[in-house]
Amino acid sequence: MMMIMMVMVVVVVVAMVVAVVLMLLLLMIMMIIVMMMMRMIIRMMIMIMMLLLMMIMMMMIMTMLMMIIMMLMLLLLLMMIMIVMIVMIRRRKSRSKRRSRRGKEDEEVTNEKVDDVDDDEEDDDDNGDKEETKEKKRKKEKEQSWRR
C-alpha cells in the first residue's frame, strides 16, 4: 500500500509540473504574438484573451488539486479501513487464544481441587475445539467467497 501511495504522489507532482510548464509556454507564445502585433486594439483583445486563459488555467489547476486531494483522502480512508480490519482480525485471534488458555487454567484448578469433576471439564474443552474448528471453517468459506 505504501508503494502505491508513493507512486500516486510522484505521478501527481509530475502532472502538476507539466501543467505549470505548459502554462508558461502558452504565456510566452501569447506574449510574442502580442509583441508582433502593433495595433493597440488587437493588443488589448489579446491581453483580454490572455487573462481569460490564465483564469481558465487557474481553474483547471484548482480542479486538479481538488481531485488530487479527494484521491488522497480516499486512499487514507482505504488505509484506515484496512488497518481496522487487521486489528479486528488480530483481536479475534487473541480472544480465541485467551479463551483456550482460560479453559486450560480452569481445568488445572479443578484437577487440584476435585478429581471427580475431570470428565465434565474434558467435555468443555472438546466444545472449545469444536468452536475453533467452526471458526476455521467460516474463515475458509470467506476466503473462497473472496476468490470467487
Whether 1 is in a domain gets the answer no
In the chain, the number of structural domains is: 1
Q: What is the structure's pLDDT at 128?
A: 54
121, part of any domain: yes
Residue 4 lies in a domain: no
Cell of 1: 500500500
Task: State mean pLDDT over 129-136.
Answer: 67
Confidence of residue 121 (pLDDT cuts 50, 70, 90): very low
Query: The domain containing residue 52 runs over which residues?
Result: 9-147
Is 2 part of any domain? no
Confidence (pLDDT) at 131? 61
| Residue 54, C-alpha cell as written in the block | 490564465
Which amino acid makes up residue 129? D
> Cα–Cα distance between 54 and 42 in angstroms, integer?
18
Q: Name the average pLDDT for the chain.
A: 72
In a domain, 133, yes or no: yes
Residue 84 has pLDDT above 70, yes or no: yes
Q: Mean pLDDT across the stretch 26-34?
A: 74
Residue 81 has pLDDT above 80, yes or no: yes
For residue 20, is pLDDT > 70? yes
Tell me phi and psi for residue 114, to 5 degrees.
Answer: -135, 135
pLDDT of residue 122: 47
In a domain, 37, yes or no: yes
Q: How many angstroms separate the CA atoms of 8 and 32, rounded?
A: 36
User: Cell numbers at residue 107, please?
Assistant: 481445568
Asked, for residue 89, whether it belongs to a domain, the answer is: yes
